Amino acid sequence: MTPRDLPALTVGELQEVLRRREVSPQEALVALHERITEVDPEIGAYLSLDLEAALRMAETADLDLPLGGVPIAIKDNINVAGQPCTCASRMLRDYRSPYDATVITKLKKAGAIPFGKTNLDEFAMGSSTENSSVRTTLNPWDFSRVAGGSSGGSAAAVSANTAFAALGTDTGGSVRQPASLTGVVGMKPTYGRVSRFGLTAFASSLDQVGPLTKNVRDCALIMNALSGADPQDSTSLPVPVPDHTAQLGRDIRGLRLGVAKEHATTGIDPQVQRLVRAATDHFAALGAEIVGISLPHTDYSVAAYYVLATAEASANLARFDGVRYGYRADGPVGLLDHYERTRAEGFGREVKRRIILGTYVLSSGYYEAYYSRAQKIRELIRRDFARVFEQVDAVISPASPVPAFKTGERDSDPLQMYLADIFTIPANLTGICGLSIPCGFAESPDGVPLPVGLQLLGPALDEARLLQIAYAYERTTEWHRQRPPLSARKEFAA
């Protein structure tokens, strides 16, 4: 195996060659860095790299630990001590974190090496990474299209073999949707399964940190490392953490998988519909029972989400005022001018839109009409899923209603952009777990294959069962092995 071959390995494969001493963690890091230097200028998955710090960690890496010596990319809204945490915003462009988020502490304890901060929609607000103040992350399968968002940088890095695995965050689908669009595996854990301490908050009742990986086993390995209660996060759940790899390979015969009639909406691309239907048939061939179900309040989920998420964003982003930390406008005339100019100049258009919406729905006279009503709808959606999970073990749906769309295609229509998360949002509203796995390719009008993701939703704290179901599909298909032929995509983009 040559150094150029190393970045294409999965986490599990890298662990094998490291433990056999065929390569060292330092050699793996250097090979990965060379791959990033070669490929990433066109993709734009990374915002910063610190090879020297990573190499220092690699010198003392314990290869017997569960993730010993494995470099993992980190979305740039998660704090890593000594590293930037810009949230892809001008507001935090010069900020360096003084501490590690709990998920980083846990990764390091498992032997992993955090390496590279990845691009995102500013403060994780978006579905295409076009809201980054730095640049848009492009889809490795087609440079004219988006990689999804807000964890587009993490997804694109894994897809392009410029990361062995990555961490993202999922507030309304921001791990699963970009995983779908780039052809990788992405998991949103149950709310509270993974600590949020050290994550820059967007919407505190919705945010969760989750892994993006090249296959399901890697996802399970990283879930083992990330999961567990944290005294620094009062929302983390004090429950035992299972071995998420233990059920991989078990038969899924007799498991009941639900297909909701409400998911057969007119907004789904016909190719996505066909591929998800084929995946459903494949599960049936593996012995699972496919059950028709109803989630009657599905149509209200996007509206409820964008009331609740913007309200929480408005409160969370109030701290960025240019007084305590962050960007500060030059030469303000008085305190009010300081606040107005700092926030107007420091935040991008989408962030300002959501702050305004959130402030509005929380304002006197509108709280009951919007925020309170959205909370009631959230409870109805939660009850829908609670009832459904009495009938089935998991729910099948598309992860995204469409394959990757063109950059700029939805920029002038925020509603169409928001609808990109129509299938993923309910999991965040209800706190359940969800997973996107590759299930095939649509073909663009230009003849370029575009990945399509299948979403599996499971009851709270049932990540191990979801991974079992996903692994059964993965090991009997080849979609997860496909990687973008970047040389061909370069020619296409030119």
**Structure tokens belonging to residue 294:** 């109803």
Which is the catalytic residue, given 144, 150, 151, 444?
150
103 Cβ neighbours under 8 A, 6+ residues apart: 78, 167, 194, 195, 198, 199, 209, 226
88: tokens are 């892809």
What is d(CA 214, CA 367) in angstroms, rounded to the nearest whole number? Answer: 43
Any catalytic annotation for residue 75? yes
202 class by beta-carbon count within 10 Å (0-12 exposed, 13-18 middle, 19+ buried): buried
Helices (H), 210-334: 216-226, 270-285, 301-316
Coil vs helix vs strand at 170: strand
Spatial neighbors of 426 by CB under 8 A, at least 6 apart, are 295, 298, 301, 381, 385, 457
Closest C-alpha among 262, 271, 165, 173 to residue 211: 165
The residue assigned the tokens 């509206």 is: 303
Annotated catalytic residue 174: yes
3-state class of 115 per DSSP? strand
Catalytic-role residue among 89, 144, 174, 314:
174
As a dihedral over the C-alpha atoms of residue 406, residue 411, residue 412, residue 415, rounded to 10 degrees, the angle is 100
In b/e form, how buried is each residue of 86-121, taking b as 16+ CB within 10 angstroms? Answer: bbbbbbbbebebeebbbbbbbbbebbbbbbbbbbbb
Q: Give yes or no: 227 in active site.
A: no
Strands 113-118 and 433-443, sheet pairing: unpaired
Phi and psi at 462, nearest 5°, equal -110, 35
Using only C-alpha atoms, what is the Rg of the chain? 21
Give the H/E segment covering residue 385.
helix 373-388
449 DSSP β-pair partners: 443
Write the CA distances from 12 to 159, 218, 290, 391, 483, integer angstroms.
Answer: 16, 6, 32, 35, 17
For the annotated catalytic residues, the residue numbers are: 75, 150, 174
